[in-house]
Amino acid sequence: MALLDSEVWAKKFFSDGWRDCDSEQPVVEPATGDRLGAIGLASAGDVARAAARAAEAQRAWAATAPQERAAVLRRAGELFSAHAGEIEDWLVREAGSVRAKASFEVRLAVGECFECAGLPTHPQGEVLTSEEARWSLARRRPAGVVSVIAPFNFPLLLGLRSVAPALALGNAVLLKPDPRTAVSGGVVIARIFEEAGLPAGVLHMLPGDGSVGQAVVEAPEVRVISFTGSTPVGRAIGERAGRLLKRAHLELGGNNALVVLPGADVAKAASAGAFGSYLHQGQICMTTGRHLVHESLLARYTEALAAKAAALPVGDPTREDVALGPIIDRRQLERVHGIVTRSVAAGATVAAGGEIVGAGYRATVLSGVSTDMPAWREEIFGPVAPVIGFSTLEEAARIVNDCEYGLSVGILGDVGTAMKLADRIDSGKVHINEQTVGDEPNAPFGGVKASGTGSRFGGAAANVEAFTETQWVTVRPDIADYPF
């Protein structure tokens, strides 16, 4: 039987095994609207039962030898590799990924598991000095039950990057995938860890609507929430978590800038800009959403970027060799087009694209843009590249920072000049001579301002901080003398 055989998961969710349920939702291929199957939907009551079971199972899992927890993570990485083709097929059909993006996502999933396999044996605290005649220790303990709420765009990776470290550090997990990508972002993860030997009850996969999202935040057993998604939803989760005195790690939106410095290689810069704006149809929080080009290169860069955009085919990645697949659903497709048309009405010019093609959108370049236009101010989450010019480094820094988001910035050109600009930029990530989209399992990931709480995914230090609590422990050789 294949890893993702529908006989296992159809019309079910995962909670102490695959469970039948009263409600289901079609699994739909965005490129065609075809039905690929049906996933079971959990209810708020199902979440309550899963949270109670997770809290029970977590105690035994946290007590499991570190080497055994590490072995589960290593087996998970090996299984991702062994079933890469099957998982990629689902990412292409359900998430609208082109094959190269799907392959990249699975490779990152493999790396995430192998990186997290080192966490169980990573140092879990520090020895402190003390004024008393005692040992004083600060040790890290599992938080307990962690809720992970994942988005549709990189459904496998953006769920796994919280699930894997949370499990490795001895927590139990409630995973709520986006219902639009519940197989590639939920079933895949549940099946991999099921086959890897994770004990029953430690991981629960609970697709559902907003009521399920609310339930995985509010369940009393849950101590940490890891959310990746839109800024408005993240604000609501953060507010609710604050009232409940729970930690919330919020990785939210972005409107990321690519700065092309004077003297940069225009051909290479346009290639980098096209990749940053059009990878996965621009449906990435790190997508290059703003192109700032020195006035000496502005016309040449815009022309080169428009030529790149015009050459990128749009279509169904399952059946055609295309560079851009479908937008995730019709509502988002019309939103992207609406931002373009409103910007054109405000004075922008379409240098390339600007058209709906079936379920997709042509790679688009907008020139004549001003900083108050919708295409510049808003996170588009589509394959649209607005371009403006700048004259001085001070102006570039001001324009980059004049944005509610602060996730990722790319700077192309002279390294010394780029370093000076980087020191003036408010951003969680800065890439010199690279575009804005980049992620590695051992690298910190997070944004500032409306891009998130500054929480960092990736790397041992960030993961230990995110998914454990600090406990102070003291030890004396004898019972102390007290004045009472």
Give catalytic residues, as residue numbers.
251, 285
For 48, 52, 283, the CA distances from 246, given in Å and listed in that order, are: 17, 17, 29
Q: Which residues of 49-64 are buried (b: 16+ CB within 10 A; e: fewer)?
A: bbbebbbebbeebbee
Dmax over Cα atoms in the chain, in whole Å?
83
In the sheet where 145-149 sits, what is the strand order?
18-20, 12-15, 203-205, 172-176, 145-149, 222-228, 247-251
Phi-psi region of 387 (alpha: psi -120 to 50; beta: other; left: phi over 0): beta
Assign 3-class secondary structure to the chain: CCCCCHHHHECEEEECCEEECCEEEEEECCCCCCEEEEEEECCHHHHHHHHHHHHHHHHHHHHCCHHHHHHHHHHHHHHHHHCHHHHHHHHHHHHCCCHHHHHHHHHHHHHHHHHHCCHHHCCCEEEECCCCCCEEEEEEEECCEEEEECCCCCHHHHHHHHHHHHHHCCCEEEEECCHHHCHHHHHHHHHHHHHHCCCCCCEEECCCCHHHHHHHHHCCCEEEEEEECCHHHHHHHHHHHHHCCCEEEEECCCCEEEEECCCCCHHHHHHHHHHHHHHHHHCCCCCEEEEEEECCCHHHHHHHHHHHHHCCCECCCCCCCCCECCCCCHHHHHHHHHHHHHHHHCCCEEEECCCEECCEECCEEEECCCCCCHHHHCCCCCCEEEEEEECCHHHHHHHHHCCCEECEEEEECCHHHHHHHHCCCCCCEEEECCCCCCCCCCCCECCEECCECCCCECCHHHHHHHHEEEEEEEECCCCCCCCC
What would the two tokens of residue 232 be?
């408005």
C-alpha gyration radius of the chain: 24
